[in-house]
Amino acid sequence: MRYLKFALYIFSIVTLSSCTDTLMGDEGKLDEDIYLNYQTITDLELPFEEEWYVVNGGKSHREGAHHFIGRGGGERYAVDFLILRDTVLSNGEVRGIHYSGDWRQNENHFCFGKRLNAPGVGKVIEVVNTIADNPPSNSFNINQPPGGNYVVIDHLNGETSILAHLKKGSIIVSVGDTVIKGQEVGKAGNSGSSTIPHLHYQLEGTSGQLGGLGLPAQFLDYYEDGEFVERSEPVRGQKVKKQ
């Protein structure tokens, strides 16, 4: 399925690793206590409308492929989302796909251009909004800055949210703005280190700056595969939707 192709190099590392079932944060009890069991301070809600699919997310190597490119860094527990829709194939099989028509056109991907929201109350401390979207591909554009177009929100409590790979020119907030939970900040795109349209979200343990340690992000009041949860962390393979 093409919805996984933008992370193929990550997943190749996952499948080759001998520690695929090891938990993230496995380098000592203190590390595990702080990060694996971390309880999010900010009241977070999923940063989008509609139902989205979790491509990467979770605390094991197999679920959370970002661990391999940012162990101990900001991407440690990052989550990737896109939109899947069930389609009946010619053989009668029902499969979730992320595009219609020519997959090489961004506009044909269901999540491209979809509204993205602030996941929690905070202050916008950094915005990039001028990076061209990549045409969908099986390989990364190494000439792009990794995050592409992104928004950084300081939640003013030691936690910072980052929404990355947004559509060029779609970000409608500015540095210094105060945002509320659910407020639109931009639209999903395919900029930066991204081969197909999707949203990259990460929570960091910093305030007022980038470069902090990645933290597990627990979202409030949403549906996981159709079942309501009051507080949980999205895991690879789930379909999630806010209440």
In degrees rounded to 5, what are phi and psi of residue 111?
A: -90, -15
Residue 76's pLDDT is: 80
Residue 11's pLDDT is: 29
Can you give the pLDDT of all 243 residues of the chain as single tens digits? Answer: 433 333 323 322 232 233 334 455 555 555 666 677 889 999 999 999 999 999 999 887 667 656 545 444 668 889 999 999 987 777 878 778 899 999 999 999 999 999 999 999 999 999 999 999 999 998 887 788 889 999 999 999 999 999 999 999 999 999 999 999 999 999 999 999 999 999 999 999 887 655 678 889 999 999 999 999 999 999 999 999 999
Domains of the chain by range and CATH?
Answer: 2-242 (2.70.70.10)
According to DSSP, the β-strands at 79-82 and 149-154 are unpaired
Residue 171's pLDDT is: 98
Query: Is the Cβ–Cβ distance between 194 and 134 less than 8 Å?
Result: yes
**Planar angle of CA 13, 18, 20, nearest 5 degrees:** 70
> Buried (b) or exposed (e) across 30-69, using 16+ Cβ within 10 A?
eeeeebeebebebebbbbbeebbbbbbbbbbbbbbbbbbb
Give pTM, 2 decimals. 0.85
Residue 153's pLDDT is: 96
Residue 69's pLDDT is: 52
Residue 224's pLDDT is: 97
Structure token pair of residue 82: 């896109």
